[in-house]
Structure 1
Amino acid sequence: MAATRTRRTERRENPLSRERIVEAAIELLDAAGEGGLTFRALAERLATGPGAIYWHVTGKDELLHAATDAVVAAAVPPAPAGTAPRDAVRAVALGVFDAIDAHPWVGAQLARSAMDAPILRIFERLGRQVQALGVPRAVRFTAASALLNYVVGVAGQNAANARAVEAGTDRTEFLTRMAAAWTELDPEEYPFVREVAGDLPHHDDRVEFLAGIDLILTGIAPRERPADPPSA
């Protein structure tokens, strides 16, 4: 009876809400992936019945969307006033990178969401900075899209690569073995891969990710118009 009384008291003190459901869903997704997110498991975590959850969300698809949006919203807050556009883009990029690294399932959800709310949050944050950089109106969509595709694609691939490695594996040792395999490749077919093999074991994924952002920003930054030649 004491345990029942405690659970009932807990329910009264922490009334079920959409926010609590989404938080619990994120915890389940982090622990067990998309396959582990069931309404039965969610009900057990929340000490309630599945029917009570359905009062707040209509099904798993809506819950996955809400969980993804919550993670993304926390990862890409509006830039503080006075932030330089390039710094703001880098902050958004790292926010997404770190969010997908911490919640690998988010990468897959973003890939499926096309131009839905979670993706649009990132696109809006990047697009505002593209505007602030002075990119010409005619190419703003292309510039912002290039940034979006790079950020979501590379961050998602990084998380996928991490999941593909057996838990407990030493990263440097794993990459050293991979680099050694690269050096054994056919020198005529893979000259570049062989050349950069030595850089693989000690590279920093976040540093390389930001370097790519800087390359894109350099490419989309407006060029200054050449000065007119002096008149004769």
Structure 2
Amino acid sequence: MAIKKQRAARRTDALSKERIVEAAIEILDAGGEGALTFRALAAHLATGSGAIYWHVADKDDLLAAATDGVVARVVTDMTDGARPREAIRALALGLFDAIDAHPWVGTQLSRAPWLAALPQIFEGFGSRLEELGVPGSAQFDATSTLVIHVLGVAGQNAANARLHAHRTDRTAFLGSIADQWAQLDPAQYPFVRRVAAQLPVHDDREQFLAGIDLILDGIAALRQKPTPRP
């Protein structure tokens, strides 16, 4: 009797770009950029690589789509009707949390500034700054400052989390660094020695928002500055 070879189960439902992107995000979250290959994606979706290439050109295209998708969720979830300052803080915190949950997003945003995600972020911050009454001549610089702070701090926080993922006790790890700071030359590092004790107990999220508030306070001062007469 002939033995029939078992075939791997294949999807019979339609494959869309949205499904491909969602699967890519799952792989990226689990294993990082190195884990995302078209072979792994095809296995994850129980389909052939050709079906995936019909929707995305290559890995760079796939990474861009995944990054855009994560950022789009944050921008879409913003509460309508919120006051401009609260909306800016909510968007900043939403991006911080998204990059913390998907560390590869921060890498992609810094590596490929032409991604559609960045115009979404600029629009989200810029439109609220305009509502705050920031002068048109200062809007680009003010928006850029917010974006740089968000992507820089959130990206570094996510990178640190990945680098020290094997360390289960964050406080103990930062405490060891604080001990090293406390032993520095007091004549050369007086400030570092004074703040060393704060390092193990600080909250990254709260510190991030404190930076946002400092920027917004500076922007508020800019709005109140009288316009020089010609």
TM-score normalized by the length of structure 1: 0.90
Give 5+ residue unaligned stretches, structure 2.
none
Residue identity opposite 1:99 in structure 2:
A
Measure, in 2, the Cα distance between the counterparts of 1:139 and 1:114.
21
After superposition, give the CA deviation of every residue in 1:156-202 in whole Å (9 maximum; x if it has no partner).
Answer: 01111111214242011111111111101111221111110011111
Runs of 4+ in 1 over 4 A off after TM superposition: none
User: Does the aligned pair in 2 maintain the 1:127–1:144 contact within 8 Å?
Assistant: yes
The CA deviation at 1:80 is 3.2
Measure, in 2, the Cα distance between the counterparts of 1:224 and 1:166.
46
* Map 1:1-232 → 2, pairs under 5 A: 4=7, 7-8=9-10, 11-12=11-12, 14-77=13-76, 79-221=78-220, 222-223=223-224
User: Does the aligned pair in 2 maintain the 1:108–1:156 contact within 8 Å?
Assistant: yes
TM-score normalized by the length of structure 2: 0.91
Residues 1:115 and 1:161: Cα distance change in structure 2 (over 3 Å): same
The CA deviation at 1:4 is 4.9
User: Does the aligned pair in 2 maintain the 1:126–1:147 contact within 8 Å?
Assistant: yes
The CA deviation at 1:81 is 3.2
User: Does the aligned pair in 1 maintain the 2:71–2:117 contact within 8 Å?
Assistant: yes
State, as a whole percentage, how many aligned pairs show the same letter.
60
SS of residue matched to 1:76: helix
Residue identity opposite 1:223 in structure 2:
Q
Measure, in 1, the Cα distance between the counterparts of 2:219 and 2:118.
21
Measure, in 1, the Cα distance between the counterparts of 2:209 and 2:188.
29
User: Does the aligned pair in 1 maintain the 2:167–2:173 contact within 8 Å?
Assistant: no
SS of residue matched to 1:65: helix
User: Does the aligned pair in 2 maintain the 1:113–1:119 contact within 8 Å?
Assistant: no
Measure, in 2, the Cα distance between the counterparts of 1:159 and 1:93.
15
Measure, in 1, the Cα distance between the counterparts of 2:190 and 2:163.
26
Q: How many correspondences in the alignment?
A: 222
After superposition, give the CA deviation of every residue in 1:107-150 in whole Å (9 maximum; x if it has no partner).
Answer: 00000121431111111100011101100111010001100111
Residue identity opposite 2:23 in structure 1:
A
Q: Over aligned residues, Cα RMSD in angstroms?
A: 1.9
SS of residue matched to 1:16: coil
Residue identity opposite 2:224 in structure 1:
R
SS of residue matched to 1:206: helix
